Amino acid sequence: MDFRYLGNSGLKISEITYGNWLTHGSQVENDAATACVRAALDNGISTFDTADVYANTKAEVVLGEALKGERRESLEIFTKVYWPTGPSGKNDVGLSRKHIMESIDGSLTRLQTGYVDLYQAHRYDTETPLEETMRAFADVVRAGKALYIGVSEWTAEQIRAGHALSQDLGFQLISSQPQYSMLWRVIEDEVVPTSRELGISQIVWSPIAQGVLSGKYQPGETPPAGSRATDDKGGADMISRFMKDDVLSRVQDLRPVADELDLTMAQLAIAWVLQNDNVAAALVGASRPEQVVENVKASGVRIPDELMKRIDEALGEIVERDPAKTAASAPETRPV
Ligand code: NDP
């Protein structure tokens, strides 16, 4: 496993990071979740990403249990705040001082740790003054409950404004967590150049497009049993944007490229996001430990320029590049 610095900081993270959205506390049983975390640890992954909203707080509990007994100093644990949790009361949401201060304590209890390495704003909150949010994050860091701060799906402009305040307040905003894959490249025009300038890295989610880029979904065929596309607890809805025949057939055209590199298609997809030097980590999910074992082998792979071009030719116009999609992925007002 190779490690990369997270933004302009001294923190090193595993370039393949394990995330537990839709799986822990939901799609998979606790035994399978623990087996995936075990496989991650055994194969060099030291960085784990979760959020209070995953499975309405249960994912943090499952991850905390699975990591129990591990040496804390050898792990990097990331979580997030913004989306509604618990009874979804009027203040159980957003980035107000009240919600941030209450949420960090809840997350630490569930994760069974005294601090998280990275605390992330899961979306931009249009209803809280940015100064209030950043002051609250500064206090979370000063209290030793988080070491660094990050954001997720913020636009380039929002990142710039948040970063300026973090500098004034004396804490480090070092990461952005956007969706990024061969199919979804909306960060390339604005978020990445701004982040490079400010010393911020991307930790990218759904690098395998939720499993689609593994090539296991065939156009016109029923999805394999047990896959995310069959998960009626939320997975099937989330993956539906990619489950279209034109996308699935273009994805099949990537197989010869993967073969040429002696990689599986999932490994090719992970290696592809890691070619971008502003990406600190590919944030990969798994429903089974075998997937983790397969996926970690993408670490350290270099895809020659000629094959990068062939990937673009194979995918053609199905690639989404519109930078406006970043803003569109966040609610205009709080969800409750
Ligand atoms: P991926 O693109 O890595 O998809 C993971 C899923 O793909 C697995 O659960 C599995 O699903 C399938 N899969 C993985 N490896 C293989 C393989 N080798 N062969 C076949 N299928 C495979 O990422 P996720 O969508 O899970 O997101 C990863 C993480 O990103 C999350 O856990 C979370 O931490 C973060 N995230 C952050 C968001 C944000 O807003 N900040 C939003 C979404 C995610 P199955 O077996 O069920 O088909």
Q: Is 226 left (phi over 0), alpha (psi -120 to 50) or beta?
A: left
Give the model confidence (pLDDT) of 1-14 as tens digits.
999 999 999 999 99
Nearest residue (by CA) to ligand 1, atom 32, is 19
For the segment 133-162, the average pLDDT, to the nearest whole number, is 98
Q: Per-residue pLDDT for 78 more than 90? A: yes
Q: What average pLDDT does the structure give for the chain?
A: 97
Query: Do the bridges between strand 116-121 and strand 16-19 make them parallel or antiparallel, or are there none, so unpaired?
Result: unpaired
* Given the residues 5, 18, 54, 82, the one annotated as active site: 54
Residue 19: its pLDDT value, please? Answer: 97
210 within ligand 1 shell (Cβ under 6 A): yes
Q: Per-residue pLDDT for 83 more than 90? A: yes
Q: Can you say whether the dihedral through the CA atoms of 336, 184, 41, 117 is positive or negative?
A: negative
Q: Pull the structure tokens for residue 191.
A: 């978020």
Catalytic: 54? yes
Residue 105: its pLDDT value, please? Answer: 98
Pocket test for ligand 1, best of 287, 288, 292, 297 (most atoms within 8 A of CB): 287
Nearest residue (by CA) to ligand 1, atom 18, is 291
CATH number of 3-328: 3.20.20.100
Above pLDDT 90, what percent of the chain?
98
Above pLDDT 70, what percent of the chain?
100
For the segment 89-99, the average pLDDT, to the nearest whole number, is 97
178 within ligand 1 shell (Cβ under 6 A): no
- Between the CA of 143 and the centroid of ligand 1 the distance, in Å, is 32
Give the model confidence (pLDDT) of 209-256 as tens digits.
999 999 999 999 999 999 999 999 999 999 999 999 999 999 999 999
215 within ligand 1 shell (Cβ under 6 A): no
207 within ligand 1 shell (Cβ under 6 A): yes
- Domain-wise residue ranges, the chain: 3-328
Read off the pLDDT band of 330 (50, 70, 90).
very high
23 within ligand 1 shell (Cβ under 6 A): yes
Ligand 1: which atom is nearest the Cα of residue 51?
A: 34
- Between the CA of 261 and the centroid of ligand 1 the distance, in Å, is 23
- Between the CA of 55 and the centroid of ligand 1 the distance, in Å, is 15
For the segment 39-50, the average pLDDT, to the nearest whole number, is 98
Read off the pLDDT band of 314 (50, 70, 90).
very high
Give the model confidence (pLDDT) of 291-304 as tens digits.
999 999 999 999 99
Read off the pLDDT band of 85 (50, 70, 90).
very high
283 within ligand 1 shell (Cβ under 6 A): yes
152 within ligand 1 shell (Cβ under 6 A): yes
Residue 171: its pLDDT value, please? Answer: 98
Read off the pLDDT band of 24 (50, 70, 90).
confident
Read off the pLDDT band of 32 (50, 70, 90).
very high
- Between the CA of 103 and the centroid of ligand 1 the distance, in Å, is 24
CA 81/CA 132 separation, integer angstroms: 15
Residue 68: its pLDDT value, please? Answer: 97
